[in-house]
A and B are shown apart, each in its own frame.
Chain A
């Protein structure tokens, strides 16, 4: 096995073009498990962790440009003000040791339906920036996940950054599991209210072949929220929103939970998320 540790992105792109089967590693929290258990023996391991620009984030107008290798610990500590939903999701990832190494680029690269960052990225309408020697392109997060652990990333491409709109309203992330730490989501839900565009974004995790959104629930909530005055949401609306989210999921029975349980909990956590995020939205409005 060859091991490359480029210091610049252009070096990395050249290597990925020469070795399209190279497995990229950054935090290693997914890849090393595969190697330790002999599940993968790539001919080439391409270590991206020495590339400075991948571990930086910056303001880009109304958005945050988040380097693919910025750790969850740093997202939690540095970006909670601008990306509250993603910061909440980051806080639920593994343990401190895992959050210190893992980042959103690797989460996207693995493209697991259970990835903790995905519901938040879907709900905020993020964009994934990828690059190859051919050039750069941007992929809408809603077109990124194409199957179980399959993404729109091409073999010669590397995920460089994720562009995420700064919060313009309340955001939430909820995750169901057996304990607070070290949990692969039984199911999860992300929600982002945009009080400027008067829209609601959703993301469902671990309840379908890919992370999913719930478009009908989004449209329903946007039509029912009292955008002008911020009136409390009625119990009927919350219940209907939860039912629409549950209906958008495509869960299966597996070792972590049953399809029925996933649908039920999604209905509960999505309704709570909407209620809480609306409260935050109103608090922001009155500030």
Chain B
């Protein structure tokens, strides 16, 4: 089938898509966008987190045919031309990246959290990121990064 959707602001028309393949497969194998990672393929790990029509989802659990006409935003769509997204910068500055495999998914999930809740408590951060696993177990620094991104956003908005 032919699939038409908008990915990171650009309309994409893709042919010869098997409708049962996952959005994750479409992104990685058809479009060459490797930011969303392929790990568990069952929604357990969150490393393939992306936004579909503004909703945070695991790309591995969305069928290609279901995103016809959808607006998709991946981790590749976050940074500006010259600057990282503030959440990406905060992850770097806080040292929240070890092997880096879970990082794109966690960054997308963090952006989702801070869009809805600019000043989350630790429990709210834990709940929002509960679907994203870090096998390096670097959760303390990941929480630091989320707090840092939230604090910077707050000081920017006051300035």
Q: Which residues of A contact B (CB under 8 A)?
A: 1, 3, 5, 25, 27-29, 31-33, 35-37, 45, 47, 49, 94-98, 100-101, 180-182
Contact B131 A98 (CB under 8 A): yes
Contact B55 A100 (CB under 8 A): yes
Interface residues of B in 17-42 (CB under 8 A from A): 18-20, 22, 41-42
Quote the shortest CB–CB distance from A171 to chain B (angstroms).
21
Complex CA gap A9/B120 in Å reads 40
Contacts beyond the supplied A35-B20, A45-B20, A96-B128: 13 A-B pairs with Cβ under 8 Å: A1-B19, A3-B65, A5-B66, A28-B61, A29-B43, A32-B63, A36-B42, A37-B42, A47-B63, A47-B65, A47-B66, A94-B43, A101-B57
Q: Which residues of B contact A (CB under 8 A)?
A: 1, 18-20, 22, 41-44, 46, 49, 55-58, 60-63, 65-66, 68, 109, 112, 127-128, 130-132
Quote the shortest CB–CB distance from A145 to chain B (angstroms).
24
Contact A32 B22 (CB under 8 A): yes
Contacts of B65 in A (CB 8 A): 3, 5, 45, 47
Contact A98 B19 (CB under 8 A): no
In the assembled complex, 29 residue pairs joining A and B whose CB atoms fall closer than 8 Å, in A order, are A1-B19, A1-B20, A3-B63, A5-B65, A5-B66, A27-B61, A28-B66, A32-B22, A32-B61, A32-B62, A33-B42, A35-B22, A36-B42, A37-B41, A37-B42, A45-B65, A47-B63, A47-B66, A94-B131, A95-B130, A96-B56, A96-B128, A96-B130, A97-B58, A97-B61, A97-B109, A98-B43, A101-B55, A181-B130
User: Which residue in chain A gives the minimum CB-CB distance to B50?
Assistant: A97
User: Which residue in chain B gives the minimum CB-CB distance to A98?
Assistant: B43
Contacts of B131 in A (CB 8 A): 94-98, 181-182
Contacts of A94 in B (CB 8 A): 43, 131
Quote the shortest CB–CB distance from A43 to chain B (angstroms).
11
Contacts of A98 in B (CB 8 A): 43, 58, 61, 131
Q: Give the most central of B1, B46, B56, B61: most A CB within 10 Å.
A: B61
Complex CA gap A33/B41 in Å reads 7
Quote the shortest CB–CB distance from B148 to chain A (angstroms).
21
8 A-B pairs closest in CB distance? A95-B131, A3-B19, A181-B130, A36-B41, A3-B65, A32-B61, A33-B42, A97-B58
Complex CA gap A25/B67 in Å reads 13
Contact A32 B128 (CB under 8 A): no
Quote the shortest CB–CB distance from A32 to chain B (angstroms).
4
Contacts of B112 in A (CB 8 A): 96
Contact A33 B43 (CB under 8 A): yes
B62 touches which one: A5, A28, A33 (CB < 8 A)? A28
Contacts of B49 in A (CB 8 A): 97
